[in-house]
Structure 1
């Protein structure tokens, strides 16, 4: 009886929060090296290019594992896969810090990327299958807000390391403990499978939606190229623009939580104003504002101006993912596993390319060139989502007798 009550406690609120918690724990290892780089460099060399390679490797493995996870999630309870992934990260990521070498940190990122990819379809499908449709926008907003949420926690770790006499490996050990807590939380959730959610025979309409899915994945890829560089390099970028390390870490942390709020608010609005077309148009508009924020980061100097650029980039430029995921699953209701895998693959490939490219541009040119180039990526993504919204609108008009 007590077990039944414990599961019941998860209820509506727990089902909204659990996918976000899982995502925070699995994303954080990709952000820790960059945010703690100033402290890690006291022990061994960690270049900007190496940080970019670590994050890119993380997302490369996430991309491959996401595709492999779809048939596994159909066969096994997604929560079982999630627990296995969290346990693997809880052991391997802290171990990589304790070994204390560049190679070990890279290996930790690669392992974490694999566990993140294997758990991603399960996290999305927990929302699609367990959360009532009237709350799915909020649920996706919470899940995708886990990325800036993880950034905020990593920034907090960086602030503690920068302002107190705390060794940077302690942040990795704290991460391992958090993963164990996350595993405990999953036991409060009811088992869920992906069986019988796919309809492969969709005919002409399915082909049309498939074309739209490719455009959405391309838009997500371009936006992810730009957005994925923000967290790993923001602290170093702010310092290059004139902010001191403590102020840069604090600004990063505050702005990350602003990004969390923006994504959740976007999800709430999406539930109140339903419609895939409106969601895609809104996401395109947010990307335009994000590009403006990146230009300010590139050309602004001094903490006040950089603060404006950071808030714009995080609060508006980071609010689009939940809208995009919600719209995609709305349009592809009978192919949810395929749709979420395709869209997530696009964003992971973008996240793979983005940090490595950004690091190379900074190393060979400057932060100004890097922020400007990636602002252009956000504008291109906005154009792709606008095109997808037109296709969805036209498909809806043809469906009306």
Structure 2
């Protein structure tokens, strides 16, 4: 069975990218799930909690924007080394040193930088080292790490936190980060500092030298995608941060709200993987699927505000999680596929938008809750989701025009189709 070794390598790369993404992303969800204990022990309030979480995403966005070209040149081992060290330093800082909120902010800044490196390295792995026909599934698995981190953050409370305290959860994360860094260092030393070459792009000739950076995706559609994912991430992170509180307010118990969050997160993981699997079986047409998911999210959260009843919160909250927040992997895959010779740089624009949305969402929508109402915040979130869907469709139109005006050197299939693409650029 000649395909087994290659599939085995692909599986290892996909699992590794997903695990690294989870390691980088878990910190704010640990803070959120243990917020009551952290606020009590460190002496700060709900407003400062928003600052702590937003600092994580803001630093991640800044590092992604400024360090994108550097991450593009990183090998896997160097990315694992630096990301693991930053995660270890921030996590051990929380576990051993933090005594007040300013220290927690500083530690989350380190963890945000570590998240940016982990995400960028994982994006590079999936976009360049995986075979082209596995990248949709790879991005789906990688982006399943965020709902997985939400579930792990929630599960930490009745297990590790209940028996060992909240600092122990960060000590465990720091230990894993240190193990990742040491493993990467050993790999670098064994390889003499070398790094693996990216897998050739589909359709490339064997032995052909690639000139990275000469042919890049157009900036206009890329920025539209970045703006779209900023708006959608802001609304989605508000959903993740406040759905349990809204569910409790309309009549669900704390336990029932937790089950709803876990069920929604678990289903979101399955949908992300399934959508990536399907993307590998067609030629493009991914951005319309992304826009549809965002629009479903918009309708769901709008009805959440309009129908404040337990049954509506259960049904609509589940749909909003399962479908309305299942687009990140497919969006990254679509942009990386259109990234020409610089897929990591293209995906970094989208990743930065996701981090900016993560930083703005809880603060901005939390402010709407305090100044207007929960219902008003859900309607504003619906507008953000809808705007994101429209921007995604505009970006798709820009990408298609650019392919027609500036075709890649190698034929490129797009527009959908399973056996053959609907459209193909000239050779």
Maintained 8 Å contact 1:55/1:356: no
- Which residue of structure 1 aligns with residue 252 of structure 2? 243
Correspondence for 1:65 among 54, 63, 66: 63
Larger Rg: 2
CA pair 183-308 structure 1, distance change in 2 beyond 3 A: farther
Correspondence for 1:356 among 345, 363, 388: 363
Q: Which runs of 5+ in 1 are unaligned?
A: 1-6
- Which residue of structure 1 aligns with residue 288 of structure 2? 281
CA pair 86-133 structure 1, distance change in 2 beyond 3 A: same
Give the Å deviation of 1:381. Answer: 0.4
For the pair 1:319 / 2:326, whether they are aligned, the reply is: yes
Of 123-132 and 188-197, more deviation after overlay is shown by 188-197
Count of residue pairs the alignment pairs up: 388
- Which residue of structure 1 aligns with residue 141 of structure 2? 142
Maintained 8 Å contact 1:20/1:143: yes
Of 40-49 and 328-337, more deviation after overlay is shown by 40-49
Correspondence for 1:304 among 290, 298, 311: 311
Maintained 8 Å contact 2:77/2:187: no
SS at match of 2:13: helix
For the pair 1:20 / 2:18, whether they are aligned, the reply is: yes
SS at match of 2:26: helix
Give the Å deviation of 1:101. Answer: 3.0
Give the Å deviation of 1:142. Answer: 0.8
Give the Å deviation of 1:301. Answer: 3.7
SS at match of 1:379: helix
- Which residue of structure 1 aligns with residue 264 of structure 2? 255
Question: Matched residues in 1 for 2:183 and 2:278: separation?
Answer: 28
Give the Å deviation of 1:165. Answer: 5.8
Report the structure, 1 or 2, having the larger helix content: 1
Of 181-190 and 8-17, more deviation after overlay is shown by 181-190
- Which residue of structure 2 aligns with residue 347 of structure 1? 354
Maintained 8 Å contact 1:293/1:312: yes
Question: Matched residues in 2 for 1:42 and 1:161: separation?
Answer: 18
TM-score computed with the length of structure 2 as normaliser: 0.81
Q: Where in structure 2 are the equivalents of 1:162-173 lying within 5 Å? A: 167-173=165-171
Of 12-21 and 84-93, more deviation after overlay is shown by 84-93
Correspondence for 1:295 among 302, 325, 344: 302
For the pair 1:104 / 2:103, whether they are aligned, the reply is: yes
Question: Matched residues in 1 for 2:6 and 2:183: separation?
Answer: 13
- Which residue of structure 1 aligns with residue 398 of structure 2? 391
Give the Å deviation of 1:136. Answer: 0.3
Give the Å deviation of 1:197. Answer: 6.1
- Which residue of structure 1 aligns with residue 275 of structure 2? 266
CA pair 210-121 structure 1, distance change in 2 beyond 3 A: same
> Whose RCO is larger (CA < 8 A, sep 6+)?
1
- Which residue of structure 2 aligns with residue 50 of structure 1? 48
Question: What per-residue deviation string (whole Å, max 9, x for no partner) do you get for residues 157-192 of structure 1?
Answer: 235479x56633333233334434545775789943
Maintained 8 Å contact 1:63/1:117: yes
Maintained 8 Å contact 1:92/1:108: yes
- Which residue of structure 1 aligns with residue 152 of structure 2? 153
Question: What per-residue deviation string (whole Å, max 9, x for no partner) do you get for residues 19-46 of structure 1?
Answer: 1111111111122222222343443554
CA pair 33-240 structure 1, distance change in 2 beyond 3 A: farther
Q: Where in structure 2 are the equivalents of 1:91-130 lying within 5 Å? A: 91-98=89-96, 99-130=98-129
CA pair 300-358 structure 1, distance change in 2 beyond 3 A: same
Maintained 8 Å contact 2:80/2:180: no
TM-score computed with the length of structure 1 as normaliser: 0.86
Question: Matched residues in 2 for 1:17 and 1:11: separation?
Answer: 10
SS at match of 1:298: helix
Q: Where in structure 2 are the equivalents of 1:168-183 lying within 5 Å? A: 168-180=166-178, 182-183=180-181
Question: Matched residues in 1 for 2:101 and 2:49: separation?
Answer: 10
Q: Which runs of 5+ in 2 are unaligned?
A: 200-208, 408-424
Question: Matched residues in 2 for 1:220 and 1:45: separation?
Answer: 34
Maintained 8 Å contact 1:241/1:300: no
Q: CA RMSD in A?
A: 3.0
Maintained 8 Å contact 1:75/1:194: no
CA pair 95-233 structure 1, distance change in 2 beyond 3 A: farther
- Which residue of structure 1 aligns with residue 77 of structure 2? 79
SS at match of 1:334: coil
